[in-house]
Amino acid sequence: MGAVKSRHFFSDKRLIALMCITVIFTFGLFLYGPIPQSGVYYQFADERSFFGIPNFVNVISNLPFLLAGIYGLLLFRNKTPSGSLPSLRYAYLTFFLGAFLVAPGSGYFHINPNHSTLVWDRLAMTISFMSFVTIIVGEYINKAVAGKLLGPLLFIGLFSVAWWRFTDNNDGGDLRIYILVQFLPMFLIPIIIWLYPPTLEPNSYVWGLLGSYGLAKVFESLDEPIFQILKVMSGHSLKHLAAALGVLIFGVGLVRRRHGAALLVRHGPERRSVMKRKLIGVMIAMALLIPTLSPAAQQKGFLVASTGDLVDLCTAAPDDPLYTAATHFCHGYLVGAYAYHAALVSGPKGDRLVCFPDPPPSRNGAIEMYVQWAKSHPERMNEAPVETFFMFLTEKWPCGK
């Protein structure tokens, strides 16, 4: 029930939507130009040494990957677990092997953070990333196709790391293929889970892994603030624990999930169709947004907690070292916010909040007007930027008036 018949594989509209997102994401990322690995990435909040081991907590917090990987590998020591598909046995094994290898790879990197040691951390992670993509394709879309994907996807993943190092001439190299390998699946997998009925139920174990990975990325972006609060552990160390927990959750799912009739009807047909359309729209918007955010992520991330924070990024001086990244972040944030709104209100019954004139304002012009509006309302500077952005839009271009 959870697989698409081979003869209809390339005529499935859901696959067309997934391919469109992939093309948009890939084209946008490569159109942007080379994305170097910033040296700032290696500046972790917790650099304490214990027992002669530099960055001790960041090193030791990788041990859960070792345990989660061993647990998963042992599940397959005699036979394929009941909550898995026999045809994907090698994909499951490779996924847990990759998780196991993250422990020595990431541990080695954190002892001496630099471009050369980071390679071993990323090689292990890409093994797990690409194996998990194969698993999702097999469990939700087509088992036969998934069986042929593992090798090519692993090659692409490993090549993405090799390409980054090959292009590194002491200038950070080019991370675009690696960014594609790491982040594109995290946007495609949720939409796959929504659009396709599962072969194995419940879905909660897959969502548990995805949620843990998302939480890990949040912890990573808050490395310094978390360390200042907890004192004993940083956000980066918590990232390791959260990601390893996701691997363990998925491993437990391989034991507890069961084959069964897929849940073909989660909502009424009309509502399900509308929600699918909206989700596809949101994912496409996110695909458009992420290539603009990627360079910013290499600068330890921009924290936009208020309208004032966003205005500062939008008005960065041209001679600022982060001018290009800040400008792209500003535009990507605001364009993504509006695209999300447009996706939610798509369709004849959508209740639009903003109605642009004909011809509409340019993107740069609209953003410049928003910045000026924000500066003229200093009392709004501490409010959420999305809220003030739509306050401006609905004041400037309201509908029905």
Q: Dihedral of CA 203/344/335/390: which sign?
A: negative
What the block records as the tokens of 63 is 């041990």
For residue 263, the model assigns a pLDDT of 39
Q: Are 208 and 254 in contact (CB under 8 A)?
A: no
- In the numeric block, the tokens 């004849």 are attached to 348
With a cut of 90, say whether residue 33 has pLDDT above it.
no
Taking residues 375-387, what's their average pLDDT?
A: 90
In angstroms, the CA 369 to CA 364 distance is 9
Whether the per-residue pLDDT at 298 is higher than 90: the answer is no
**What are the chain's domains?**
6-264 (1.20.1070), 286-396 (no CATH)
pLDDT digits (tens, 9 = 90+) for 230-277: 889 999 999 999 999 999 999 999 999 988 644 343 434 444 454 455
pLDDT digits (tens, 9 = 90+) for 157-212: 999 999 998 998 877 788 889 988 888 888 889 889 888 888 998 888 999 999 99
What's residue 10's pLDDT? 53
Of 50-64, 156-170, 211-225, 269-283, the range with the lowest mean pLDDT is 269-283
Given CA atoms 50, 55, 61, 63 in this order, what sign does their dihedral have? negative
CB 37 within 8 A of CB 298: yes
Q: Which residue has the higher pLDDT, 391 or 279?
A: 391
Residues forming beta bridges with residue 50, ordered by sequence position:
53
Would you place residue 371 in the very low, low, confident or very high pLDDT band (cuts 50, 70, 90)? very high
